[in-house]
Structure 1
Amino acid sequence: MPVSRVPDHVPREMVRDFSLFTSPGMQRTPNGDPHAAVACVHSGPPIFYSPYNTQDGLGTWVITRAADQRRVLQDAENFSSHRKLFSAALDESWPTIPLELDPPAHGVFRSLLNPLLSPKRVAELEPAVRERAVLLIDRIAASGSSCDVTKDFAFPFAVSISLRFLGLPDDRLDTFVRWGQELLHGDRPERSAAARTIVDFIDELTALRRKEPVDDFISFIVQAELEGRRLTDEEVRGIGVLVFVAGLDSVAAAIGFDLAYLARNPEDQELLRSEPERIALAAEELLRAYPPIQMLRVARKDIDFEGAPIRKGDYVSCATMIANRDPAEFECPNTVDLARENNRHAAFGYGPHRCIGSHLARREIVIALEEWLARIPAFRIKKGTSPITYGGHVFGIENLVLDWS
């Protein structure tokens, strides 16, 4: 581990050779379990410095305890959300909105968007979500007794719901999924190219909706008023990019990890088949065990936090997959217990920036499990195949070939 990668203010004894991108189990691994691999950090200090822990290989402080992560995530005075992860790929500095805004601006935009993703609105969307799940699963069931479930179901399902929310047709779904994969998991040139493509797409859609509004999300945004004014093109871009990108990967990844678990654990699979009323509770435990997202903050000022000399500009990692394996927070954290109650998991974050789309994501996951278990016989991972898992900013799984012959 090159010492030159460690800032001078970081004590060398607080540096640890760990990364959500490069540590064992984090790179593309057949039959891997990156969530279990990160649990190793709980055998060490509550906070340490990782020299390589972002997509671009930058260092971060790593907060391991769930309680400490909650402190960071609700402390906007000391820790900023404006880390410009998307626009930085374009060498620009505009924020995705409201994710990368700090109070008070964050609250203003959040109030504008909350009604669009409220529990009431999600309930109104549920019939369309369920219809889409049924259509895809019935098509899979009719075509044989095996499928690559991430490619054939999880991604088409989750991304199509996101596109429907945005008011976009499904006919470019494969293209949009490819953009997301290149943006979230590609090398630097791929990420930059994908980011530019997505921005250009959102900008063109914004210009079209300003001229010809319809009943969709972008039309709502371009016509909305905030404190007596219309939103600027950059603000519309920041919102549109966030909603578009958020629907491309994380929910599909969660569904993939959930189905992989059930394929490997036939007793739990049978339990949910025979008692489908347990699925909603089980989905919470699977969100705890297999959350896909790392959250980053940037120190706004020098602060000593749990003995760590965090300095202005330092990145601070609050990885949900680490918090959700905290033995101080969860009994037997590395055991999946589908009956676990009082499940205070961190899959959707914490504090003012808690995921605005959590209600919709939760319903998508529950509906996906309900309809898959209702329509597909007992399934297992197909012999001779190996699911591929990987870590990173968003954990993922692919080549998950399920068989029910």
Structure 2
Amino acid sequence: MKKNEVASSPVPDHVPPELVRDFSLFTSPGMPPTVNGDPHAAVACVHAGPPIFYAPHNTRDGRGTWVITRARDQRRVLQDTETFSSHRSIFASALGETWPMIPLELDPPAHGVFRSLLNPLFSPQRVTALEPAVRERAIALIDRIAASGTSCDVMKDFAFPFAVNIFLRFLGLSDHRLDIFVDWGKDLLHGEPVKRSAAAQKIVSFIDDLAALRRKVPVGDFMTFVVQAKVEGRPLTDKEVRGIGVLVFVAGLDTVAAAIGFDLSYLARNPKDQEWLRSKPERIGLAAEELLRAFSTVQMLRVATKDIDFEGAPIRKGDYISCATMIANRDPAEFACPDTVDLAREENSHSAFANGPHRCLGSHLARREIVIGLEEWLARIPAFRIKEGTAPITHGGHVFGIENLILDWC
């Protein structure tokens, strides 16, 4: 994992010393080296220890968190919104502010109000309507790659231009600033503190300016819908519009591209699985679910609203709790041979898109993008591998990422 500077916070007095572990999703100190650039294999090692422990430096701003390792315990936390709040202002805190991303950082009942407002925009029917455009974009990018030679930087040439273009199209934006937006996302999620704060400010300014423009000049796009929407009979406030816009914007900049990158990295290293999918393209949908499980990218944080003893851990009001999908989806109690990627795995109730009322709003679109991206890549690019002399760079953090993924083929 790429190392970010994260200052550890003092261990609170209520945390028993035997439950403290030297662990971080950002730097993973004290853990084995990543395997072939695989941060998922590194963090999976926590299953050899206690089901819940305290990590004094498991957030970028130096906060300690309780780390929930078992999938069933993560589900309990994510479903209990009264005890474990979602309002932690991760994005706004980079600006020294406290407004929530909506609906991600709202608790019920407010969460349900905004979720109901946005659900129709991300429905399976809307995703189906977008599918021809998604496939057209994938084909155009891959054909361009295939025509230009026998090597490419997957993230730069395919994953980001593909995933971010679809997301911008969904928002009703052109992609002439795509590279700039991608850079903002990288700085926000994986950059140093100064870059992270600057990226957050640029994103907020962009969303605020776009909202102001759509109020004056409405068109049939996502932001027009948001600025004209009403909840409980009233228009949305400026901060509510910003909270929705920032969430959707940030969510589209990295996660799907990262998933595609991790998937192609795995297939490049495992030619037998690559060939199996080529011979059975009808199995790509099933395989994509296994790859989502094995290479999940997102950590969910919650804040305790009251004192509670949870599975032997004395969690106190205000404590942060980490529910990392990349840990839950390697739980041996849930998945047979969890560290083995089995593309034919049938029973696969993974939590790559989280659980509970905050389950990922864009999961239907993300799934279709990943499946279509893999289908068209395997149909158009011959047997590929990681280019000799190169090595992908992987990032830890709230969202895992990958870059410098150079593939070649004959």
Q: Which TM-score applies when normalising by structure 2?
A: 0.96
Which residue does 2:172 correspond to in 1?
167
Residue type of the alignment partner of 2:272: E
Higher mean C-alpha deviation, range 101-110 or range 54-63: 54-63
Residue type of the alignment partner of 1:330: F
Which residue does 1:62 correspond to in 2?
67
Q: In 2, are the aligned partners of 1:30 and 1:387 still within 8 Å (CA)? A: no
| Distance of 1:30 and 1:310 partners within structure 2 | 33
Q: Say whether residues 1:134 and 2:134 are aligned partners.
A: no
Which residue does 1:50 correspond to in 2?
55
Q: Say whether residues 1:398 and 2:403 are aligned partners.
A: yes
Per the TM alignment, residue 25 of structure 1 is displaced from its structure 2 partner at its CA by 9.7
Q: In 2, are the aligned partners of 1:73 and 1:79 still within 8 Å (CA)? A: yes
| Distance of 1:293 and 1:150 partners within structure 2 | 18
| Distance of 2:100 and 2:144 partners within structure 1 | 40
Identical aligned residues as a percent: 79
Unaligned stretches of 5+ residues in structure 1: none
Per the TM alignment, residue 2 of structure 1 is displaced from its structure 2 partner at its CA by 9.9
Q: Say whether residues 1:214 and 2:224 are aligned partners.
A: no
| Distance of 1:121 and 1:170 partners within structure 2 | 20
Q: In 1, are the aligned partners of 2:302 and 2:321 still within 8 Å (CA)? A: yes
Which residue does 1:239 correspond to in 2?
244
Q: After superposition, where does 1:5-404 map in structure 2 within 5 Å?
A: 5-23=10-28, 31-404=36-409
Residue type of the alignment partner of 2:89: K
Per the TM alignment, residue 28 of structure 1 is displaced from its structure 2 partner at its CA by 11
Which structure has more relative contact order (CA 8 Å, sep 6+)? It is 1
Higher mean C-alpha deviation, range 190-199 or range 17-26: 17-26
Count how many residue pairs are aligned between Structure 1 and Structure 2.
Answer: 405
Pair 276,86 (structure 1): closer, same or farther in 2 beyond 3 Å: same
Q: In 2, are the aligned partners of 1:387 and 1:399 still within 8 Å (CA)? A: yes
Q: In 1, are the aligned partners of 2:190 and 2:395 still within 8 Å (CA)? A: no
Residue type of the alignment partner of 1:347: A
Residue type of the alignment partner of 2:317: K
Secondary structure of the structure 1 residue equivalent to 2:402: strand
| Distance of 2:64 and 2:34 partners within structure 1 | 23
| Distance of 2:338 and 2:218 partners within structure 1 | 49
| Distance of 1:152 and 1:213 partners within structure 2 | 33
Q: Which TM-score applies when normalising by structure 1?
A: 0.98
| Distance of 1:53 and 1:21 partners within structure 2 | 7
Which residue does 2:3 correspond to in 1?
none
Per the TM alignment, residue 226 of structure 1 is displaced from its structure 2 partner at its CA by 1.2
Per the TM alignment, residue 232 of structure 1 is displaced from its structure 2 partner at its CA by 1.1
Secondary structure of the structure 2 residue equivalent to 1:333: coil
Q: In 2, are the aligned partners of 1:29 and 1:390 still within 8 Å (CA)? A: no
Residue type of the alignment partner of 1:251: V
